[in-house]
Amino acid sequence: MNFLKDNRPLKVVIIYLIFGLLWIIFSDKFIASISKDSEMLSKLQSLKGLAFIGFTAIILFLLISAYYTKITDSVNQYELIFTSNPNPMWICDIKSNQFLSVNQSAIELYKFSKEEFLSMTLKDIKPTEEIDKLKKHFSLLDKNITKMGNWIHQKKTGELLIMEIMSFNFYFKERDCKLIFARDITDKVQAEQKLEQANIELKEKIERIQSYAFANSHKVRAPLANLIGLVDVLENEQRPELIEMLKTSALSLDQEVSQMNEILTDQTKLKVKK
């Protein structure tokens, strides 16, 4: 039933057959019931045939008109989606890779005219290093699987673009073709690359700071130890309150340095584990 639902031409044929059979069966019975005269029956049969042809012609005209109206609407909708799409789109022949149709967005982005596009193949918008990737891509088309991925394309000016591509099999002008949808992600990829590079540089700076602090914290501890020892010598002087203050400050500084060493040591261990 699903096959019949999606197959409009078959539905038209079935309707025509059913109507034809019903017409033949009931019209013959009706004519036989109203007259027994052979000459009259012959005339009525002729009129019946003419009526059948006329009526079925009208029915077929209405069905076919509705069918082609639906096709025309679909074609117009496709053309609107294709020509007015803000992203580049094109149709190319699978065997030759030749452009068969291209929308205005592609023309504006790549800087080729429509005539130039239609005289080119996909190889003409790709740098040399992408050709092998293109051949591999088209070798998988018999699997009829939609392909997606990032490709390097080249404008007429030589400027490189990073394009996200979606393509699928498409029958166009009696050829096996690919309908290709492209999205320019050059700015997005470059921004991600810059952010990644900035993160790498920041990580390197943090590592240098940590290394410097870790190395110099040991140098700080040596004079601190001397300072603490000196405080012990001065404990017998006449101003014990100053000595106590000096000792407290030295111990506090030693505690802070020790804590910094512990933090830096933990960070170093964590990096080693990673």
Concatenate the DSSP letters of all residues of 181-220 into one string: EEEE-HHHHHHHHHHHHHHHHHHHHHHHHHHHHHHHHHHH
Higher pLDDT, 79 or 265: 79
Higher pLDDT, 185 or 144: 185
Mean pLDDT computed over 207-231: 66
CA distances to 45, 64, 135 from 155, in Å: 73, 46, 20
Closest CA to 146 of 135, 137, 156: 137
| 167: pLDDT strictly greater than 80 | yes
Chain Cα centroid distance, residue 14? 42
- Is 141 in contact with 94 (CB distance < 8 Å)? yes
| 9: pLDDT strictly greater than 90 | no
Higher pLDDT, 126 or 66: 126
Angle at 234 between CA 228 and CA 239, to 5 degrees: 120
Chain Cα centroid distance, residue 25? 59
At residue 109, the pLDDT reads 95
Location of structure tokens 């540089």:
201
The highest-level CATH class for domain 190-273 is: mainly alpha
Closest CA to 53 of 29, 20, 12, 26: 20
Q: 252 in helix, strand or coil?
A: helix
What are the tens digits of pLDDT across the range 49-66? 777 778 778 877 887 787
Fold observed for domain 85-184: Beta-Lactamase (3.30.450)
Higher pLDDT, 87 or 261: 87
Higher pLDDT, 65 or 11: 65
At residue 163, the pLDDT reads 92
149 beta partners: 165
What are the tens digits of pLDDT across the range 182-208? 999 999 999 998 999 988 988 888 787
At residue 272, the pLDDT reads 45
At residue 211, the pLDDT reads 74
| 145: pLDDT strictly greater than 60 | no
Highest mean pLDDT among 37-51, 54-68, 111-125, 236-250: 111-125
CA–CA distance, 99 with 172 (Å, rounded to integer): 12
> Which amino acid is present at 3?
F
Q: DSSP state, 94?
A: T
CA–CA distance, 207 with 214 (Å, rounded to integer): 10
Residues of the chain with pLDDT > 70, as a percent, come to: 66
Q: How many CB atoms lie within 10 A of CB 250?
A: 19
At residue 218, the pLDDT reads 63
**Domain boundary assignment for the chain:** 2-82, 85-184, 190-273
CA–CA distance, 148 with 171 (Å, rounded to integer): 19
At residue 230, the pLDDT reads 61
Q: 142 in helix, strand or coil?
A: helix
pLDDT band at 119 (very low <50, low <70, confident <90, very high): very high
Exposed, middle or buried, 123 (CB in 10 Å: 0-12/13-18/19+)?
middle
> What is the average pLDDT score of the chain?
76
Q: Which two tokens stand for residue 152?
A: 């390097």
